[in-house]
Amino acid sequence: MQREESQADRRHFIKVAGAVSALGALSSPRVFAQAGSDHVLQLALVGAGGRGTGAAVDALTNAGYPMKLVAVADVFPQRLEDSLNALKQNFADKPELIDVPEDRRFVGFDAYKEAMDALRPGDVVIFASPLAFRWVHFQYAIDKGLHVFMEKPLVADGPTGKRMLELAKKADEKNLKCAVGLMVRHCRGRQELHQRIQDGQIGDIVAARAYRMHGPVGTCFSSPRPKDQDELKWQIEKFHSFIWASGGLFSDFYIHQIDEVCWMKNAWPVKAQALGGRHYRGDSVDQNFDVYAVEYTFDDGSVFFFDGRTMLGCRNDMSSVVLGSNGSAIVSASGHHPGKVRTFSSFGPDRDKVKWAYPQPEESPYALEWKDFVKAIVLDEPYNEVPRGVEASLVTSMGRMAAHTGQEITYEQMLNCPHEMAPGVADFATTGAPPIVADEDGKYPVPNPGQERRREYPEST
């Protein structure tokens, strides 16, 4: 089996290398212009938690081009070691894919620089740290001439969104390829569904609804910080609990379904109004609501209803549906994969009214996003998902801000809101000061809809 895999890998490599050679040195990226038959893309991982480790596995498994991990960076040494141990175990039959000796394992707030310094121009870096650090890391990657895969969301506020859009332009100027982990966009079934909707199979989209309802996951709810733990590092470790670090559970959990529905509509909403609240939370000190209900409105007046709930003992649902003037479509049946997309001649999922269904089984979008990204690098195709990733992040934040302030929030208001959640993030290595602090009871500022109207939570004192 290993020989068969090796031969298949070699055949694919020859095919890709031949395509690169055909492009010629003038049109190929620098790293490929002089590449020989033994060329390997080097990969660095910045942010070695579960999401980063998973992204590294996806890259090394699905890139379709020889690649190896050569450097890892994280703020927490134990998380770095746990990640490497998991990766080595996963690739026990291919140990050459994990080439990270002690001197290429970097810990601390400046570790991202050292990990990227270990790469060559034209190599690839994964950003899987909390979104607050995204623009800082992106700037350094551009300076180093590196292609970037960054996890979603990209931003939680307008000032950072504008900064990321400017950085995306700089990346284009340097011909760097940038991928964003909104992997559903790479699902072949959803791509075909999108085309069928654009071709009018269900008429004009007039409404949509999506749900993400399940129990607590990640670090969305947190008990008070132990007194012996550093404040800043503890907040980073519990990043889902803090809006400055992640956009809260709303941005981090809900962006996928908000993005996929807007993709099917081929538009971003222009405004949002929302409800939300906290229930049965005991001594939790995080900033999240655990119930959200958002009504997004598009420019043509059509609406998109999103409901999110993070509670135990309640009905679970993770699905997306769009309703057209001549039928409906399932965008996600239950979770991200498999999508099981279908179109119907009715407004409900009636089996006898199915117009079209994508054949099963489906290839994982987590694999496809890496295939598409690396293909663009190797063949020097235009590829920059950052602007769209920023827009999806801002639209998601628009719904979150509407719930947290109790106001109707437009896209322009979200983009131009002056409140930057983590203004000192670039200086964390020297200041060690978190953007917010707990009060004397160990609690952090939470949204107060109707009372705090111009920002999502009061300033901490």
Averaged pLDDT for residues 299-326: 97
Residue that terminates a domain, selected from 320, 352, 387: 387
**Could you tell me if 160 and 11 lie in one domain?**
yes
Return the closest-CA partner of residue 147 out of 107, 180, 111, 114. Answer: 180
Quote the mean pLDDT of the chain. Answer: 92
Q: pLDDT tens digits for 23-40?
A: 333 234 444 544 555 799
In a domain, 439, yes or no: no
**Kind and range of the H or E run holding 185:** none
Burial class (CB in 10 A: 0-12, 13-18, 19+), 73: buried
Strand partners, 308: 212, 292
Residue 91 falls inside a structural domain: yes
Are 409 and 383 members of one domain?
A: no
Q: Sign of torsion, CA 408 412 418 422?
A: positive
CATH of the domain at 286: 3.30.360.10
Q: Are residues 105 and 128 in the same domain?
A: yes
Based on the domain organization, do 270 and 373 belong to the same domain? no
Same domain, 118 and 177: yes
Residues 213 and 82 in one domain: no
Question: Is the CB of residue 196 less than 8 Å from the CB of residue 255?
Answer: no
Whole-number pLDDT of residue 32: 55
Q: Are residues 156 and 7 in the same domain?
A: yes
* Least confident stretch, 8-22, 157-171, 200-214, 404-418: 8-22
- Asked whether 119 and 42 are in contact (CB, 8 A), the reply is yes
Domain membership of residue 201 (yes or no) is: no
Q: In the β-sheet with 147-150, what is the strand arrangement from edge to edge?
A: 105-107, 67-74, 41-46, 124-127, 147-150, 178-180
Q: Judge if 349 and 289 occupy the same domain.
A: yes
Please give the pLDDT value at position 348.
74
Which CATH number belongs to the domain containing residue 81 in this structure? 3.40.50.720
Among 332, 352, 387, give the residue marking a domain's end: 387
Rounded average pLDDT over 317-334:
97
User: Any idea of the CA torsion for 335, 341, 343, 346, to the nearest 10 degrees?
Assistant: -30
344 has a pLDDT exceeding 70: yes
User: Minimum mean pLDDT among 25-29, 174-178, 203-207, 294-298: which range?
Assistant: 25-29
pLDDT score for 357: 97
Instruction: With a cut of 70, say whether residue 17 has pLDDT above it.
Output: no
Q: What is the mean pLDDT of residues 9-28?
A: 37
- Angle in degrees, CA 457, 396, 364, rounded to 5: 135
Domain count for the chain:
2
Is 308 within the bounds of a domain?
Answer: yes
Q: Per the domain annotation, does 446 fall within a domain?
A: no
Query: Tokens 């002089």 belong to which residue?
Result: 34
Q: Is residue 146 part of a domain?
A: yes
Query: Rounded to whole angstroms, what are the CA distances from 248 to 52, 145, 365, 393?
Result: 18, 31, 24, 12
∠ CA 137-399-273, nearest 5°, is 160
- Asked if 68 and 166 sit in the same domain, the reply is yes
Structural contact between residues 257 and 144, judged by C-beta atoms closer than 8 angstroms: no
Strand order in the sheet with 303-310: 354-357, 342-344, 327-332, 317-324, 205-214, 303-310, 291-297, 271-277, 409-410
Domain housing 110:
2-184+367-387
Q: Are residues 402 and 256 in the same domain?
A: yes
DSSP 98: B
- The answer to whether residues 380 and 325 belong to one domain is no
Q: Report yes or no on 191 lying in a domain.
A: no
What are the angstrom distances between the C-alpha of 120 and each of 21, 109, 141?
20, 22, 11
Q: Are 70 and 43 in contact (CB under 8 A)?
A: yes
Structural domain includes residue 437: no
Contact 53, 43 (CB under 8 A): no
Same domain, 237 and 335: yes
